[in-house]
Amino acid sequence: MNYDPIAEVRDAPVPDLQAAVVQLQAQVLRFQLAIDNISPGVAFVDAHERLILCSRRYAEVYRLDFDRLRPGMTLRELIELRVAAGTCPMTVDDYISYTRTITSKHEVRVWNITLDDGRVIKVHHQPTPDGGWVSTHEDITDFRDKRLLVEERVSLQSLIDMVPDNLWVKDAESRFVIANVATATRLGRSSPQELIGKSDLELCPQETAQKYLYDETRVLTTGCPMIDSEEYVLTPKGGKLWLATTKAPVRNTSGEIVGVIGVSRDITARRKAEALHECQADILEMIATGASPETVLDSLIFLVESQLPDVVGSMLLLDPDGVHLRHSAAPSLPYDLVRAIDGLSIGLLACSCGSAAYRRKPVTVVDIASDPLWADHRALAVTHGLRSCFSEPILSVKGDVLGVFAMYFSSPRKPTDTEKRLAHVATRLAGISIERERATPKTARVAA
């Protein structure tokens, strides 16, 4: 049989073009469904700047009619639609020029554009091997606003943390909404975040918390602020503070009271300074009016202990024999220790007080439990929780020893500069009282 090429072509099976088209259409549909389920808008563009495919989200991002975004349309036509919709930040020519600058470098690029309506779109450009590109377009306006809000809050927190006074805001149930570091520190917490959502009933001693709650309820109820109210409060660790506090109502845009804002300042140092000056004046008046040294020295001890709550004070006077120290004033010192030290002989190793009187200068014992000066009395002192002592001699104008003032502490430590200054004030006033009493004739004292 002779070969007939024409017949071979004529009789060859005809490809099912319609089936192939249907298959391709199904693939395109699946691809379209896939990219339509991607959160950012997606656009595929070929090397000739013609649209291959884009997602519905792309049309939504740029306020376009999806049905008008036909495959094969040019980049210029696409950008013209965006310009008409008001969602292109440049002219058509400028945008195309910008796009060609990016595609010529064949590299991944990411940038943000701000539209006229205020929205921010994040564009991610990915080149493809054939010279085209794929780009995603994500509306990040909400993320930006949330970030700005977080940054604003962080900035606000940083700002109020710079304020040395306690600063806070509470809601209508007196629970913390905002607080600074100073407030957290005063309440024994490591950060302001530990206060948020809590009330003072959960943070403070009961008596103090009830006082705070009463004041805030009155502000919330009456709408009247509380201005610079001075109050003596207990801290969570058992300390005591004087605070000057201002509390004012917080109102919403409708004028309704929704919370309380407060500022409080630690005025303990000021109150102590005022009390010190007042007590010094009172003691000087006592001396001037002829009060006995015993009365004056008791007042001095009370003055020191009121200024230094962690200190126990004691006054010993030198006996006329010039050798022994006699108890004079020690209202808070344990009685058995008072009795043991009464009559102590002064000497180089005679406890803190006997040594200070012997040396005519202050003596510090950092740890009573181990210092050789306290060898004879350390067990008794430690039993009563006295672990360190600072003693300063009471001297006359001529430098003669009149007695010794002592401060005892509950932990092994040195006295602070403030404690030393107060001890010096006490010894000077004690010396004035003792010298005046000794210089006054007995007949004058009897007459007084």
* Each residue's pLDDT tens digit, 75-104: 999 999 999 999 999 999 999 999 999 888
Residue 424 identity: H
- In this prediction, residue 281 carries a pLDDT of 86
- Taking residues 129-158, report their average pLDDT: 75
CATH 3.20.20.70 fits 19-139, yes or no: no
Q: How far apart are CA 438 and CA 287, in angstroms?
A: 12
For residue 174, give both structure tokens.
């007196």
Closest CA to 335 of 294, 380, 286: 380
Across the range 299-305, mean pLDDT stands at 90
- What is the predicted pLDDT for the residue at 308? 86
In which band, very low, low, confident or very high, does the pLDDT at 270 lie, cut at 50, 70 and 90? Answer: confident
State the DSSP H helix or E strand holding residue 97, giving kind and residue range, or none if neither.
helix 92-103
Global confidence as pTM? 0.50
Multiple choice CATH, 147-266, 3.40.50.2000, 3.20.20.70, 3.30.420.40, 3.30.450.20: 3.30.450.20
Q: Which residue has better confidence, 26 or 91? A: 91
CATH topology of domain 271-441: Beta-Lactamase (3.30.450)
Tell me how far apart the alpha carbons of residues 315 and 403 are, in angstroms, rounded to a whole number. Answer: 7
More confident site: 26 or 45 = 45
pLDDT, tens only, 212-237 = 999 999 999 999 999 988 887 777 77
Q: 148-152, 162-166, 323-327, 345-349 — which is least confidently predicted?
A: 148-152
Q: Where in the chain is the domain with CATH 3.30.450.20?
A: 19-139, 147-266
Q: Which pLDDT score, from 0 to 100, does residue 420 have?
A: 94
Phi-psi region at 325: left, alpha or beta (left = phi > 0; alpha = psi -120 to 50): beta
What's residue 444's pLDDT? 47
CATH 3.30.450.40 domain span(s) along the chain: 271-441
Smallest CA-to-CA distance from 48 within 124, 129, 131 is with: 131
Q: Where are the beta strands (DSSP E) in 14-145?
A: 41-45, 51-54, 109-114, 120-127, 133-139
Phi and psi at residue 251, in whole multiples of 5°?
Answer: -115, 150
pLDDT bracket for residue 174 (50, 70, 90): very high
Percent of residues, the chain, with pLDDT higher than 70: 87
Higher pLDDT, 4 or 201: 201
Long-range contacts of 73-76 (CB under 8 A, 24+ apart): 74/49, 74/50, 75/45, 75/49, 75/50, 75/51, 75/99, 76/49
- Please state, rounded to an integer, the average pLDDT across all residues of the chain: 86
